[in-house]
Amino acid sequence: MRCAIFSDTHSNWEALSTFLDYCHKNHIDRYWMLGDVVGYGADPQIVQKKVFEISDVVIRGNHDQAMVDDELLAWFNDEAKEAILWTRGQFDSKTKEKLASLPYSYVEGGVTLVHASPLNFDQFPYLITWKEAAEAFRYFNTPLCFIGHTHFPQIFLLKQKASSYLDEGIYPLDRNDRYIISCGSVGQPRDNDHRLAFGIFDDEAYTLELVRLEYPKEIAASKIRKAGLPRFFADRLL
């Protein structure tokens, strides 16, 4: 099975459609989406529709929950809050509730899926350092845990007690080790590489491929500006 693992589409249709085109040409069997379908971008309706059409699993992200959760929204910075309030206005109550009631986690075979961290996953903490990962390893039992949220491609290895940045390429995984892996962001990359990022997990070969793709980022940025959303979210794409 070849499974596309993607996260943080953030209402960016240009990025999502590029991702979909690639996957359709590269024999993907399943799609696991790790949360934050919406937020930041200017195309929340078509992005959420397509994500639910293709995905076998969709995990709840903090931006998804913020569709109905004012207490959570209070923790957002001013620009992110403005984008969420705008996005709320693009959906009916049924769609907002659907996004906000997605599962926090999912386990299948040897894989755990969460948005932010297996530790306190309903509070959406950031998992960036080895110290944070070391504690998080105690809160799931599978060999692999895939996360999103940071928008930063990164791998944590339990045996080596280490972490490293994930460049694009194919990585063989050790069946006797345990991993926490972020495959970056489709809709809002934040690693000084404007290309969208996602992973392909092959459970037979037991490999992870980190894929980076160019997409029409200028169009996505222009849409954000035209929608009146904070310009920062357009500039960050570029």
- Which one-letter amino acid corresponds to residue 129? T
Cβ-contact 60, 102 below 8 angstroms? yes
Of the candidates 85, 48, 42, 47, the residue with the CA atom closest to the CA atom of residue 67:
85
Q: What angle do CA 118, 119, 123 make, to 5 degrees?
A: 100
Strands 169-172 and 207-213, sheet pairing: antiparallel
- State the pLDDT at residue 6: 98
- State the pLDDT at residue 42: 98
**Domain ranges, ordered by start, for the chain:** 2-237
Residue 53: how many other CB atoms lie within 10 Å: 9
- Quick one: average pLDDT of 226-238? 97
- State the pLDDT at residue 138: 97
pLDDT tens for 101-146 read 999 999 999 999 999 999 999 999 999 999 999 999 999 999 999 9
| Helix 44-54 / helix 13-25 crossing angle, nearest 10 deg | 20
**Token couple for 5:** 């693992």
**Count helices and strands in the chain by DSSP H and E runs:** 9, 12
- The contacts of residue 197 (CB under 8 Å, 6+ apart) are 153, 168, 183, 184, 185, 186, 189, 191, 210, 211, 212
pLDDT tens for 170-219 read 999 999 999 999 999 999 999 999 999 999 999 999 999 999 999 999 99
- State the pLDDT at residue 82: 98
Cβ-contact 49, 73 below 8 angstroms? no
CATH superfamily of this structure's domain 2-237: Metallo-dependent phosphatases (3.60.21.10)
- Quick one: average pLDDT of 82-95? 97
Strands 111-114 and 105-108, sheet pairing: antiparallel
- State the pLDDT at residue 34: 98
- State the pLDDT at residue 90: 97
